[in-house]
Structure 1
Amino acid sequence: MRVRAGFCVAAVLAAGLVATPATAAAATEPQYDFAGAIRETVWVDIGRDGDGDGVTDRVAADIVRPAEPAASGGKVPVIMDASPYYSSVGRGNETEFKTYDDQGRPVGFPLYYDNYFVPRGYAVVLVDLAGTNRSTGCVDVGGKSDVTSAKTVIDWLNGRATAYSAKSGGSAVSADWSTGNVGMIGKSYDGTIANGVAATGVDGLKTIVPISAISSWYDYYRSDGATFGFDPDGLAQTVENRNGGQDCSAQNKKLADGATQNGDYGPLWAERDYAAQAKNVHASVFVSHGVNDLNVKTINFGQWWDGLAAAGVQRKIWLSQTGHVDPFDYRRTEWVDTLHRWFDHYLLDIDNGIEKEPVATVEREPDQWADQPAYPAKDASETTLNLQAGSTPGIGTLGTGAGSGTASFTDRAKTGEDAWAANPSETSADRVLYSTGALSSPVQVSGTSSVTVTATPSTDSARLSAMLVDYGPAKIRNFSAGGEGITTGSDETCWGENATGDDACYKTTSADIADVDYTIVSRGWADLANHQSLSEESPLTPGTPYSMTFRLASTDHVVPAGHRLALVIGGTDIDFITPPANLPKLSLDLAKTSVRIPLAGAVPAGPRADRLPAGPLAHVAGRASGDLR
């Protein structure tokens, strides 16, 4: 790894030379004095009154930009991170917060974006969403207030909105230093807002870099009718700034009322469904996500990616083996270099060829990366695998041959995926398991799978859980540990210039590796009562069969030769979803139950299923999370 430590300014350009396409080559190297950069705050009027105080809300935008172009009337593009976390839970692996001097001027900007990019001719703008940190109004967890908070700042940077020098009153401030070209970036909630703003089609937003980001808030809190047990009003109360005097109780009640506990997809979720609005996106999109992210489940990047493809959006994607982790903390040098070229191309119009490079980069083993020309993989095709009963109850065959037989399990709401997968050759009262034989050649699962289940419940309510499992030894990132696949060290590397109160240096990280006997490739959950519609439950009649298709999480995973691919189906996975009111026994019609997988490679029609290893197996335990950071 090439380690960069404390870049020095090579030269301060003469007055008149600015970071524009005409002098684009200069933007690829540090040329401006970071310590002397302009630091300021403006408050942008977003035209909404979220806290109902009779005054339109203003969001605080903290800005750091090079002084040299400003002195000569030059203009620079903007890298923006809009977040609710700058004074609540912090940003990055080292939990950084914004800081200010005794006059309220911004000093410390979390993360390295300002340290690295301002010397290279960019402005960095960190926006407090309405209702957070120094902004007025109320956060609405991905709704119109959140999205408008960032969109209106882009409008201001393009001369279409008004900003002021103070939180109330003050004088109007123009962004005459901005080219109007904006790139949004951020992890988790921040990247989610980037998705939401891009889905408005706002003019001036040239690119977004969503990291571990949500594309549909429904799929953060719910899954095909099933609920994860946490709700948006709780997140709102975590991040709202109560020191400004605003009363957000009315907004929080709207969140609580709109997020119905029955798991139905309603108007609140439709407003926050950016994937459904992907046709409006004009900006390029560089996605990063961990395939083991159990916080922002990977269905979020998969459906967003597919929607962007349908809209013809230029895209790039990195998929790691980590959980909810920023690529700066698992592949630092390559990430910063790639991000730098991405912003140079889309914000400064530099012809550096990045748009012609491989579309997808996937981590196959810890720190072992492979490029692909496309995601999903070009040779992956939708393959239906069927279930055949075996001689052991609840254990059978997964293959391309016709399905047959029946099986049953009881939802006790006491166990979850690891207990279900750990003894694959044994009957379990809680789940059923169907497996290929040992594969003669590797197969690649690349894209978003789905399961169709025909089940007869013994009660009037039922949940379903399903997962794809790769049985065989592997080294993987230990995504269930505290670092979600990384270990943080004590040494530091520096990524840009330092200034008083604004450090560019960050602790190094390394892969946290675990040896396992099986890998859960993809997961999904559903409420059988939503078999007809996600928008409205249908009553279940005990003893009546119901068919339902639900999604498994998006991924890209190679099952090596000699391993087995299995489908596991159970009731309530207690590690993730809430149980039904009346726990049922569920009987499956295997002839009408199948899994549809985007698969590259061949799976036999009907291998023997009794070759699975006996006894408990080692695995990294998964975990759900309601902590969106």
Structure 2
Amino acid sequence: MLRRSAVILVATLAAVAGAVSPASAGGPRHVRGTETIPVYDYGTAIRETVWVESPLDSDGDGARDRIAADIVRPREARTRVPVVMEASPYYACCGRGNESELKEYAADGTVSLMPLYYDNYFVPRGYAFVGVDLSGTARSTGCEDVGGPAEVASAKAVIDWLNGRGTAFDASGARVTASWTTGKVGMIGKSWDGSVANGVAATGVRGLETIVPIGAISSWYDYQRYNGILRTREYVRYLHSYVNGRPAEACADELAAMRAASGETTGDFTAHWAERDYRTAARNVRASVFIAHGVNDKNVSTGQFGLWWDALAKHGVERKLWLFQAGHEDPFDVRRAEWVRTLHRWFDHELHGLRNGIDREPRATLETAPGVWTDERDWPARGVRDRSLPLGDGTLGAGAKGRGVTKTFTDESLREDALVANPTAVVPGRVAFLSAPLTAPLRISGEPSVTLRIQVDKPTAALSARLVDYGTGTRVDHFRSEGVVNLATESCWGAATATDDACYLDTTEVTATADHAVLTRGWADAAHYRSLRFTTPLEPGRWYDVTVPLNTYDVTVPAGHVLGLVIGQSDPQFTVTNDQNATVTLDAGRSTLTLPATGAAVTAPTTPQSITTTTLPGAAERRATDNTPVVPLR
């Protein structure tokens, strides 16, 4: 929605981009030295829609799916231009960005408002922008299969067409080609949009030069299941229905097949999930990958980026990383000016081939405290090694005396606040283990896990684990609006037309001071201890080793703070399960926390401790999350 006059927009754009000056002699108009500059008129840009033919017929109507792609490109460009592309299921149903913008169309059917600022900012700089409606959404045919082959193929087909390998039609049915582009494509998007970018990159499609997944999914099983435990019931149906743009009957068969294949009653990792696990195809990735993720993202959990990052690193994929303290947010709403500058330089390097040096700069940019940023050579942090920390009689760390110590607890379905509060008190339904106060800062960077030696009186138990920082600090309050709130002011990040500007409300991080904070979480169904592909019912009286992976995290715990590990069972705030009321006996001496860390030694306390806590800020927001289906949207 237009909020500024064109005059103000031009002035703001000049302030952001710098004064426009002539391009280097002999080069494209939009290149000055090692950067692209805004020389093309956004107001007269060519706007067109094409329908690209997918190789699949996902709705079974006898015709290949047709994928709507809305294009904005510079009219005056005398050279071919690369493409910034966002493929999304949200353009018609739900909106994009902090202000939930939808696509809007002119009378001739061409897009008059493209959500977000990408087209406003990059088209004047010698890029085209393409907004793709994923299969079964908005104006595309086919069916939305929630991270599956049809969804990925629909976005990939557009890249193939941009590179002369596919077929597309205009509104009249005439074939159209993309002679105006170099074929080099950079995909970007937050959440579901970034997830499909991961999926397309995993196909190895030629022409996709880079992706920028923000708070994105790399395994849809890990998004809808937590190691055999359901996040919520009927999640496949819910997500499909949320974004479906077709009549219900058009995709009823596809939806029924997905529901049957997803292992709803078992939590198993089935073939349905295997084809939605992009990490296993990391070896195919040709594109560079620039990941951005909030370390306190409870919607798309941090393991989604952490395990994807590890897989890409294993195969030598060029990559870059931004981590920030908020939850499920876009860095545009966390560190706006620096994010736009970095994204601009990244696309200039990857799509225009400009040697601006960004590939030689530190690979990782991290927010280490509210508003405090640092660049590091790589990630995880330098010097990090996995430490095996033993458990004892309520103690954690080197020197813990756990031999012969057992802890028995019966499920109480505790909410997180109750689970981690007052860790030295006896609370039914949980066991807590505490380190001695740290003698120096401790950097945790990577994917922790806890291996528990247990007996269970039922065929299975739902297990939960929390790593907790017991110590007072001012932290980003990620339970309140994901840690970011809107201000009354706004700023503009590109050129405008009468119907499409690039002005957005400014934002700021919101903080809270508390005497403890949950750092990272993990869940597992004990009967999946052998494999996620099948269950093995537990026998009463028999000991089992069950590993509970915790989500990827990066934090420096200050000296003087106490590190805590809290184990519970069913978790109404984050999961749903019928496996409740089990009694678990834990052999502490044969249980360990694996912690990727550097810095202070984590030792067990030698004298009894007494730690009391106050209620964490954001209690109302925490209550509101109980068993609520989450859409990877905002």
With normalisation by structure 2, the TM-score equals: 0.93
Report the counterpart of residue 150 of structure 1 in structure 2: 155
Structure 1 stretch displaced more, 536-545 or 345-354: 536-545
Could you tell me whether the CA contact under 8 Å between 2:490 and 2:503 is conserved in 1? yes
Per-residue CA distance 1:307-335 (angstroms, 9 max, x = gap) = 00001011111111111110000100000
Per-residue CA distance 1:55-90 (angstroms, 9 max, x = gap) = 111000000000011xx4x20000000000000010
Q: Is 1:39 aligned with 2:47?
A: yes
Classify 1:316/1:403 alpha carbon distance in 2 versus 1 (closer, same or farther; 3 Å). Answer: farther
Per-residue CA distance 1:203-243 (angstroms, 9 max, x = gap) = 01111000000000001001111111141221111111136
- The equivalences for 1:603-614 within 5 A come to 603-608=601-606, 610-614=608-612
Could you tell me whether the CA contact under 8 Å between 2:570 and 2:579 is conserved in 1? no
Report the counterpart of residue 488 of structure 1 in structure 2: 486
Could you tell me whether the CA contact under 8 Å between 1:319 and 1:361 is conserved in 2? yes
Per-residue CA distance 1:531-585 (angstroms, 9 max, x = gap) = 1111000012223221111210001111100001111111112211223435211
Measured in 1, the distance between the counterparts of 2:421 and 2:63 equals: 58
Report the counterpart of residue 311 of structure 1 in structure 2: 315
Report the counterpart of residue 446 of structure 2 in structure 1: 447
Measured in 2, the distance between the counterparts of 1:162 and 1:454 equals: 57
Measured in 2, the distance between the counterparts of 1:123 and 1:27 equals: 16
In structure 1, list runs of 5 or more residues that go unmatched.
390-394
Task: Report the Cα offset of residue 472 of structure 1.
Answer: 0.5
Task: Give the partner amino acid of 1:183.
Answer: G
Match of 1:104 among 104, 109, 112: 109
Could you tell me whether the CA contact under 8 Å between 2:56 and 2:150 is conserved in 1? yes
Report the counterpart of residue 432 of structure 1 in structure 2: 431
Could you tell me whether the CA contact under 8 Å between 2:389 and 2:396 is conserved in 1? no
Q: Is 1:211 aligned with 2:214?
A: yes
Report the counterpart of residue 356 of structure 1 in structure 2: 360
Task: Give the partner amino acid of 1:607.
Answer: P
Report the counterpart of residue 325 of structure 2 in structure 1: 321
Measured in 2, the distance between the counterparts of 1:24 and 1:269 equals: 47
Match of 2:194 among 185, 191, 202: 191
Classify 1:47/1:443 alpha carbon distance in 2 versus 1 (closer, same or farther; 3 Å). Answer: same
Classify 1:580/1:609 alpha carbon distance in 2 versus 1 (closer, same or farther; 3 Å). Answer: farther
Q: The residue matched to 2:520 in structure 1 has which SS?
A: strand
Structure 1 stretch displaced more, 542-551 or 257-266: 542-551
Match of 1:562 among 560, 563, 572: 560
Measured in 1, the distance between the counterparts of 2:351 and 2:607 equals: 54
Report the counterpart of residue 579 of structure 1 in structure 2: 577
Match of 1:300 among 304, 307, 325: 304
> Cα RMSD over matched residues?
2.1
Per-residue CA distance 1:496-555 (angstroms, 9 max, x = gap) = 101121111000001111111112111100000001111000012223221111210001
- The equivalences for 1:108-507 within 5 A come to 108-166=113-171, 170-230=173-233, 231-242=235-246, 247-261=250-264, 262-389=266-393, 395-399=394-398, 401=400, 403-404=402-403, 405-413=405-413, 415-481=414-480, 483-507=481-505
Structure 1 stretch displaced more, 229-238 or 148-157: 229-238
Q: Is 1:55 aligned with 2:63?
A: yes
Q: The residue matched to 1:248 in structure 2 has which SS?
A: helix
Task: Give the partner amino acid of 1:553.
Answer: N
Task: Give the partner amino acid of 1:277.
Answer: A
In structure 2, list runs of 5 or more residues that go unmatched.
1-8
Classify 1:424/1:619 alpha carbon distance in 2 versus 1 (closer, same or farther; 3 Å). Answer: farther
Report the counterpart of residue 533 of structure 1 in structure 2: 531
- The equivalences for 1:587-606 within 5 A come to 587-606=585-604
Report the counterpart of residue 94 of structure 1 in structure 2: 99
Q: The residue matched to 2:51 in structure 1 has which SS?
A: strand
Measured in 1, the distance between the counterparts of 2:256 and 2:22 equals: 54
Report the counterpart of residue 392 of structure 1 in structure 2: none
Measured in 2, the distance between the counterparts of 1:5 and 1:306 equals: 43
Measured in 2, the distance between the counterparts of 1:349 and 1:195 equals: 22
Q: The residue matched to 1:229 in structure 2 has which SS?
A: coil
Q: The residue matched to 2:566 in structure 1 has which SS?
A: strand
Measured in 2, the distance between the counterparts of 1:152 and 1:50 equals: 14
Task: Give the partner amino acid of 1:311.
Answer: H
Could you tell me whether the CA contact under 8 Å between 2:143 and 2:246 is conserved in 1? no
Q: How many residues align?
A: 612
Measured in 2, the distance between the counterparts of 1:420 and 1:311 equals: 40
Task: Give the partner amino acid of 1:201.
Answer: G
Structure 1 stretch displaced more, 456-465 or 172-181: 456-465
Task: Give the partner amino acid of 1:187.
Answer: K
Could you tell me whether the CA contact under 8 Å between 2:74 and 2:124 is conserved in 1? yes
Measured in 2, the distance between the counterparts of 1:12 and 1:254 equals: 57
Task: Give the partner amino acid of 2:160.
Answer: D
Q: Is 1:67 aligned with 2:75?
A: yes
